[in-house]
Structure formats: C-alpha cells, structure tokens
Structure 1
Amino acid sequence: MKKIINISSRLFPNTMAYFAYKTLTNPKLKKSNIHEIDILDKAYKEKILFRKFNIQFYQWGEPNNDPILLIHGWEGHSGNFADIIESLVEQNYYVLAFDGPSHGFSTKKQTNLLEFSDLIIFILQQYRIKKIISHSFGSMITTYALSRIPHFEIDKYILMTTPDTFLERINSISSQVGINEKTKQILIRKLEAELHTEVTKICVSKFVKEIHVKEALILHDKEDKIIPIRQARIVNENWINGNLEELENTGHFRILKEPFVMERIINFLKSN
C-alpha cells in the first residue's frame, strides 16, 4: 500500500498531499478502557460550545480547591489521565479536563492545532488556571497556546513527554503515509496557509522562551518510541525555568499510570 501511495504521489502530488492533510487533521478515535470510563463517569460533565464543536468538559473535586488543567495528546482523550486524576483528587485538587476538538466525546470534525490551542486559551482564561499537566503532542499545543498569550502566568507546568518541532510530526506522517518530498512540500504550504504561520516556527523549544511559566517539569522516558528523548532534551536546553527528568521503563503511554510518576507529580505540585 505504501509503495502504491509513493507512486501515486509522483503522479498526483496535489491529490496525495490532500490525503496526507486529511490524515493530519482528522484524528483517529481510540477506545477508552474500563478504568478510564469509570473515572470519566465520576466527573461533573458538561458540553461547551466552541465554534463548530461541542466540547466535552470534565470536572472532579471541589471548585473551591486549587484548580489544575489536564491536556491530552493528539488522538488521545481525557480518560488517558485516569490514574493521575485519582491522585490529584486525593490531594484535594480541583481537576479540569476536556476532550479536544474532534477527540474523545467532543464533536468529530476536521481540526488542527490552531483550533486546539484557541480552545486551551479560552479555558485557561475562563478558569484562571495556574497549574497544567499535558501529555505528548498536547505539550506542543499548550506551549503554542501560551506563546500566544505571553502575559498569562502559569505557576506550575508538567509536560509528560514533549515533542519539539511540528515539522518532525509532518515528516513522520509523510513517512508513514509514503508520500514523496514534492508532495510533502505541497502539504506544508497548505498547512501554513491554514495556520497563518510557517511550519518551522511551530516549535516548543522556541515557545518556551516566550511563555511565562514560573516552574516546569518535563518527564520523558529515555526509550520513548513515539517521541524520541532528544526532542525533550532540546526543549529543556532552551527553557530557563524547565527541568527534565529522564525516566526508564515507562514508555510513552505507561508514564501516565506508573505509581512512582504519580508521586513525582504530586511532590512537584506541592513544592514551594
């Protein structure tokens, strides 16, 4: 199949660029497991109308407690944080989360990281969030959102794995799909027209120089197969208030469930 796509991309570059674009802007739905569904069912749930989307929004704990916002990755959903949610509620945090545009139980329509980041900005400002936990590509979207509101101050921010450049994501998708370089450049031009910025400027190691975060912790497994550790290292090198902790035996997704990771998160949030 990949070979056929590669040949097609040489013959029909515009058509195949659109095919790759649809792959990038229509996240696949991943099923929730029983534990995730159980935790989501314990939340106070409401729908937030945001542009063309009905966004599924969740709240756990008491509203008078310290609020913290959880932001899932691309093709993820709020249930991915189930174990973290339990730990945070036990520590008397007011936990907020949402299923991003075209993710989880939110409306399914074509979307992009600009829309996702716009939603993050709305929630940050609406709920006056001072603490954030993000996972995977959610870390790129969150730092992008914060860079667009540089006056907004965050006290504590935990990035549970982080990519660096959006271009690496495009290269990965292009390789998976099997399109050639010419077709990839057509794809990039289409994305840049839609996002109103150059793809090379969508870069976490650039954003962290512009955002106002008092203290940040990056947790990333050395053997992460989805996002290589080198990307987190580059981000950390460019972040004055950042601190990278390189983990072992957690992978890209199990990091969200390991008890010692939960303990590290709580210790960081409670530290002065």
Structure 2
Amino acid sequence: MKPLIKLLSAAAPNVVVNIAYKKILKPQVFKLRPHEVEIIQQAEEKSITYKGFEVKTYKWGSGKDKLLMVHGWEGQAGNFSDLIQMLKDYDVTIYSFDAPSHGYSSQGPTTMFEFSDLVKYMLETYDIKKVISHSFGSVGTTHCLANYPFIMDKYVMMTTPDRFMERIDDVAEMVGMTNKVKHRLLNRLETEFNVAANEQNVSDFIQKTNIKEGMIFQDINDKIVRLSQSESVAKAWGKNCQLIKIEGTGHFRILRTETVLQQVIDFLDFDKN
C-alpha cells in the first residue's frame, strides 16, 4: 500500500489527501466481546439526535455518586465492561455513550469536537463530577472541560494522546504520504474546521480546566499512545495530577486488567453498597 501511496503522492496528491482525510474522520467499528455485549444489554439505553447522528447513551446503576465514561477512537462504551462489572459493588450511577460513528450510534464523518459536545451534554444533563476516559476520549473530554466552566472532583485518563500534529504525523507514516501532501491535508483540516492544528493539544487544554484531582495510567510499552505523550500531559496538568506507569497491559488490555481497575476505583473513592 505504501509504495502506491508514494506514487500517488506525486501523481495525484489530492487522492492521497482524501484517503488520509477519511482515515482521520471515519473510524472503524469493531465487534464487542460477548461479555461486553452482555454489559451493554444490562444498561438503561436512550437515543439522542445530535448533528444528524443517532447517538446511543447508557446508564448503569442508581447510586448517589455519578461517573461518566468516555471511550477512545474506534472504541465504544462496552469497552468499559470490566470496570462497570466491578463497580456493581459500589454506590454509583454510571453513564456513557457511543460517540458518532462509534459502537451502536449511527455512522458518518466525526471529530474530537463531537466527543467534546457529547461530554458537555452528559455532564450538564446528569450533573456528573467524576470522569474516566480512554485514549482519544481524553482529547474530547479535556477540550470540553477547557471550554466550559465545569468543576470536576476527579478525572482519570487511561492513557492520553497529546499533540494533534503527532496524530497527523502518525497517519502520514501509516499511509506513506510525503511532507508536501501532509501539508495539503493540514490545510484542508484547518480550513474546514476553522482551527489551528498546532493548538489542538491535550497539554494545552488541561491547563484551562478546573479539576480537583487527576490521575493518568499509562503502559510504558503502549505502541499506540506513547509514554512521552502522557508524560507531557501530566507535566502540563501539574501538582493535581499523578501519573501511574504500568507494564504488561498495552493500549487496550489496560481496560481489562483488574489490578489497574482497582486502583482506578480506589482513586475515584466511591462508597460500597
């Protein structure tokens, strides 16, 4: 594929831009494991209409404390099934959603801005003060918290990207595009969404938030979100954040590792039933 992309980069650069553009805005939808499907089926499910999408939202439990779970790119609410199962012993109500073009929500091009808007909707609608996000979910969550005056008690990131330009570089490397074509892609994204790409960074967003306590979990050998990215966000976050470095979970198994999830629960400080 890469040799073909390199050839097209010279002969038909706009074709390559379109391929990369779709890669950035159109996530793949992966099947849930049987256990994850079972947990989703146990939820109180609602559909909301948002920007032409039918977005699925979920609720588990009816405890006095409230928690919002925000999945990552190409993820879905069911990815938190192990944590949801463990939290059944605690006095908490859990909320989540499948972002546009993710999970059981309807399909179409989507961005971090849709994640951000839906986080805002959930926090406002259900008066939630504690949040956990996985990977790209941290981008949309921090963008929301940076732009609206929410005061959060606790926030856990299960890994976090940082700079949007790193995402562009990763896509460019993945498909094999030249620097010239990469700049065309950047120009298209900046024009269509009226943003400066180099300003879309979690380490910038997090400094504008009002979060009492934060924690970042990061596998040191994560091949999708590098340790340096979480370190950069933790440094920008400052004294209210603790970075927990772990090993042996990778990028996805971190959400299914009981010892890690128990640390998350302990930090979130829910009462037991």
Q: TM-score, normalised by structure 1?
A: 0.96
* Deviation, structure 1 residue 59: 0.5
- Give the partner amino acid of 2:209: I
Quick one: distance in 2 between partners of 1:195 and 1:141? 15
2:254 is aligned to 255
* Deviation, structure 1 residue 195: 2.5
Task: For residues 134-192 of structure 1, give each alpha carbon's deviation from its aligned partner in whole angstroms, at most 9, with x where no partner exists.
Answer: 0011111111111111x211110000001111111111111111111111111111111
1:104 has 2:100 as partner: no
Moved more, 187-196 or 241-250: 187-196
2:201 is aligned to 203
1:46 has 2:7 as partner: no
Indicate the SS of the match to 1:74.
coil
- Give the partner amino acid of 1:215: E
Indicate the SS of the match to 2:128.
coil
- Give the partner amino acid of 1:28: Q
The correspondence of residues 53-202 of structure 1 with structure 2, limited to 5 A, is 53-62=53-62, 65-149=64-148, 151-202=149-200
Quick one: distance in 1 between partners of 2:97 and 2:226? 26
1:222 has 2:220 as partner: yes
2:267 is aligned to 268
* Deviation, structure 1 residue 236: 0.7
- Shift of the 182–249 alpha-carbon distance from structure 1 to 2, 3 Å rule, reads same
- Give the partner amino acid of 2:170: S
Quick one: distance in 1 between partners of 2:45 and 2:127? 19
Quick one: distance in 1 between partners of 2:83 and 2:10? 46
Quick one: distance in 2 between partners of 1:115 and 1:78? 15
2:8 is aligned to 8
Indicate the SS of the match to 1:209.
helix
Segments of 5+ residues of structure 1 without an aligned counterpart are none
Q: TM-score, normalised by structure 2?
A: 0.96
Segments of 5+ residues of structure 2 without an aligned counterpart are none
Does the 8 Å contact 1:114/1:195 carry over to 2?
A: no
Matched residue count: 270
Runs of at least 4 residues of structure 1 off by over 3 A?
A: none
Quick one: distance in 2 between partners of 1:43 and 1:208? 31
Task: For residues 207-262 of structure 1, give each alpha carbon's deviation from its aligned partner in whole angstroms, at most 9, with x where no partner exists.
Answer: 11101111000000111111110111111111121110101111111110111112
Identity of aligned residues (%): 40
Indicate the SS of the match to 2:241.
coil
Indicate the SS of the match to 1:172.
helix
Task: For residues 33-58 of structure 1, give each alpha carbon's deviation from its aligned partner in whole angstroms, at most 9, with x where no partner exists.
Answer: 10100100110111111121100111
* Deviation, structure 1 residue 10: 1.5
1:33 is aligned to 33
Aligned Cα RMSD in Å?
1.3
Quick one: distance in 1 between partners of 2:25 and 2:84? 28
Does the 8 Å contact 1:89/1:95 carry over to 2?
A: no
* Deviation, structure 1 residue 271: 7.9
- Give the partner amino acid of 2:48: I
Does the 8 Å contact 2:55/2:105 carry over to 1?
A: yes
- Give the partner amino acid of 1:212: N
* Deviation, structure 1 residue 90: 1.8
Quick one: distance in 1 between partners of 2:69 and 2:55? 14
Quick one: distance in 2 between partners of 1:180 and 1:29? 28
Quick one: distance in 2 between partners of 1:214 and 1:41? 33
Indicate the SS of the match to 1:208.
helix
Quick one: distance in 2 between partners of 1:174 and 1:58? 35
Quick one: distance in 2 between partners of 1:125 and 1:237? 29
